[in-house]
Amino acid sequence: MLNSFVPDRNWPAAVKPAALALALITLTATAGSAAATGMLRLRCTNPVGGATWSIAVDLDRRLVDARPAEISDGWISWRDGHGGTYELERATGKLQLRAASTTGGYFLHYSCQPE
């Protein structure tokens, strides 16, 4: 089976498995990053009040609306200028705002869709 992936070039026996392993590592390393590039433009809606707003996610620079963000395959999180923390679940589009206040804080929930 190994011969079907690495053509025979009269290489020593140990070189073929090493070449295959290097190719697989390279493919694995680049596969995840290829999907996580570019811009995401989302329209988020509060399902209770109906308020909507747009967010722009720059995956290359790791920014949301020009603010630093933590971006993983499952989540995007960032903070606003008032201390609120936003967490977006990428698979479902559910966005949660956690905001501190003198009365203990509050949560707001949104549903986000691509624009």
What pLDDT band is residue 13 in, cutting at 50, 70 and 90?
low
Structure tokens at 67: 């603010």
Q: Which pLDDT score, from 0 to 100, does residue 23 have?
A: 42
Q: Hey, where are the domains in the chain?
A: 2-35, 39-114
Lowest mean pLDDT among 1-15, 16-30, 36-50, 70-84: 16-30
Chain segment 38-54, per-residue pLDDT in tens: 999 999 999 999 999 99
- pLDDT of 31 over the 80 cut: no
| 3-state SS record for the chain | CHHHHCCCCCCCCCHHHHHHHHHHHHHHHHHHHHHCCCEEEEEEECCCCCCEEEEEEECCCCEECCEEEEECCCEEEEECCCCCEEEEECCCCEEEEEECCCCCCEEEEEEEEEC
pTM, whole model, 2 decimals?
A: 0.67
Q: Which helix (H) or strand (E) holds 77?
A: strand 75-79
What's the average model confidence in pLDDT over 22-47? 64
Chain segment 79-98, per-residue pLDDT in tens: 999 989 999 999 999 999 99
